[in-house]
Amino acid sequence: MKNNLGQIPPVELRNIAQLLETRAAIHPDRKALVWSGRKGFKHWTYADLQTRVEGIAAGFRKHGLRAGDRALVFVPMSPELYLLLLGLWRAGGAAVFLDPWSTPRQMAGVCESMRPQWFAAPPAAAVFLCRHRVLRRIPHRIRIGKTPMFRAIPLREFPCPEPFPMETRSLDDPALVTFTSGTTGVPKGANRTHGFLQAQHIALENNLPVAEGSVDLSHFPIFVLNSLASGRTAVIPPMDFRKPSAIDPIRMQNVIRELEVNNLTGSPSFFDALCKDAAPLPLVQCAHTGGGPVGPRTLTAMRRAFPEAEIVIIYGSTEAEPISRLDADTFLRETTEPTRRGQGRCVGKPVPEVHLRLEADGELLVSGNHVCREYLGNPEANRVHKLRDPDGTVWHRTGDVGRLDPQNRIWLLGRKGQSLKTDSGHILHADAIAAAVETLPGIQRAACLPAQTLLWVAWEGEKSAKAEIQALFAEQGWPLGPLRHMRKLPTDPRHNTKIDRERLRRHFSG
């Protein structure tokens, strides 16, 4: 396997869609996108994809798009999603990307702040148009699918054969607005500029080991874009993207074998489902996981399923990804005992492209070319979460509390505000205690809530693990409150990995 760490330089960029155009010129006959159709797998080569993207871009301009226009894209992960994104960028527009579980109220709120001129969605989204006037005010609509939708142009009729040159954009112009998961508050729209997306692509390529010409599978939309920018084959997995933890593992394993997938990227919950009782998949050479806390059970299952793979933990967020990386074997070999003592969850050394700062209260701040500098339409969020130095450097407040060890590795302790001060004056971080519980036998996943002077604990796994949890708390002198065994902990809708604390608190209160 070729390890490409540190080998990807920046290029002179006038539009992020230029990266696809470059790849199409280098290897036009290589498969770009592969997906499951009614009669087996379908694919587009890079030449196919580029031709279609050019037609979509020309269609946008023919129907009135102006450089800088924003399009609300409510399209699930599919070939059509990437046609729209790449065509929109080529034409000079910016995409406001909404997750498939967004509610009509959330969508209306996005419209109020983003003021999109375009709306691309499947016919099922017509119910949203009926319920909110602000959505009906969007002047241009594109329909994905055959069922009619009020005043919408079908995507199949949208491409225009007339040639249209790529629109030149500034590196600071918005290209993609994506929203935080909202597990710690109201979702915020991160402004991913053309320069940001290029810098993120470089950071991912420099820090994640992937072989040239590999076949990639991921349920993260941004990683499919990264695969295309790198000239690799991207497989869109057959799954409900609203529920990565509910995949059909046998079907997914068969897809990996049939398409000879050798690079996987997904959330811990995705890998928990994929690797459960899986026969070894020796073709997989790289497996990257992130999007939420990664525990030893997940990594052990991944090592069994992918015996030949380099397995890497990625730490990052909507605003900055990657921030750090750590190989799974080091995690399992060196970090379990400190984690069991409540010293946090190790996520490795910061990547070279990131500058890291530790505040007095332990909060991690990051800056760099692939760190989001602002939230669009949300000055209050910018005031709270962005810090600007006199020289213009913008630091992003991650909201994560952590520490650095002598090897300069980051150990995450938890979210700000999720801690408890003991009678002796020690600060206990709820997420660090949850990580400690996850090292115990019989625990699949754990969550911890600070409540006045006690720590409430819930867990997935064996019900009999209650005694192990009680023994750990007694050994460490941690104040233990109510214990709750749960079949499934409440998690975020995006990756099914981050604990939804408000819902969990209601479980305890109920």
Match 């249209």 to its residue by tokens.
164
In a domain, 139, yes or no: yes
Residue 143 one-letter amino acid:
R
DSSP 313-372: EEE--SSBS-SEEEEHHHHHHHSHHHHHTT--EEEEEEPTT-EEEE-TT-EEEEESTTB-
Q: Do 338 and 234 fall into the same domain?
A: yes
Contact, 262 vs 235, CB < 8 A?
Answer: no
Q: Do 144 and 210 fall into the same domain?
A: no
CATH value at residue 116: 3.40.50.980
Boundaries of domain holding 23: 18-169
- Angle of CA points 8, 261, 19, to nearest 5°: 35
Q: What is the pLDDT of residue 39?
A: 85
Q: Do 116 and 225 fall into the same domain?
A: no
For residue 265, the surrounding DSSP H or E stretch is: strand 263-266
Domain boundary among 384, 418, 452: 418
Q: What is the pLDDT of residue 43?
A: 97
Q: Do 278 and 358 fall into the same domain?
A: yes
In a domain, 489, yes or no: no
Q: Do 150 and 292 fall into the same domain?
A: no
- Alpha helix segments (H runs only) across 181-239: 194-207, 221-230
Mean pLDDT by 10 residues, the chain (510 residues): 46 90 96 93 97 97 95 93 97 90 75 90 78 83 84 91 91 92 66 96 92 94 96 96 90 96 96 93 97 93 97 95 97 96 97 96 97 93 95 96 97 94 89 97 94 94 96 96 94 81 86
Helix (H, G, I), strand (E, B) or coil at 398: strand
In a domain, 6, yes or no: no
Q: Going by C-beta distance under 8 Å and a sequence separation of 6 or more, which residues neighbour residue 343?
A: 403, 411, 432
Q: Do 276 and 139 fall into the same domain?
A: no
CA distance 26 to 46: 9
CA distance 447 to 438: 9
3-state secondary structure 91-119: HCCEEEECCCCCCHHHHHHHHHHHCCCEE
Domain boundary among 365, 390, 418: 418
Contact, 260 vs 213, CB < 8 A?
Answer: no
CA distance 275 to 64: 48
Contact, 75 vs 107, CB < 8 A?
Answer: no
Q: Do 219 and 124 fall into the same domain?
A: no
In a domain, 506, yes or no: no
Domain boundary among 367, 389, 418: 418
CATH value at residue 360: 3.40.50.12780
CA distance 216 to 303: 18
Q: Do 153 and 208 fall into the same domain?
A: no
454-461 and 480-485 beta bridge pairing: parallel
In a domain, 4, yes or no: no
Q: Do 139 and 234 fall into the same domain?
A: no
In a domain, 7, yes or no: no
In a domain, 327, yes or no: yes
Helix (H, G, I), strand (E, B) or coil at 305: helix
Match 């499947």 to its residue by tokens.
122
Residues listed for the chain: 510
Q: Going by C-beta distance under 8 Å and a sequence separation of 6 or more, which residues neighbour residue 475?
A: none
345-350 and 410-415 beta bridge pairing: antiparallel
In a domain, 500, yes or no: no
Q: Do 109 and 214 fall into the same domain?
A: no
Q: Do 240 and 160 fall into the same domain?
A: no
Q: Do 119 and 47 fall into the same domain?
A: yes
Q: Going by C-beta distance under 8 Å and a sequence separation of 6 or more, which residues neighbour residue 342?
A: 428, 429, 432, 433, 435, 436, 476, 478
Q: What are the backbone angles phi and psi of residue 492, rounded to the nearest 5°?
A: -65, 155
> In the chain, how many domains are there?
2
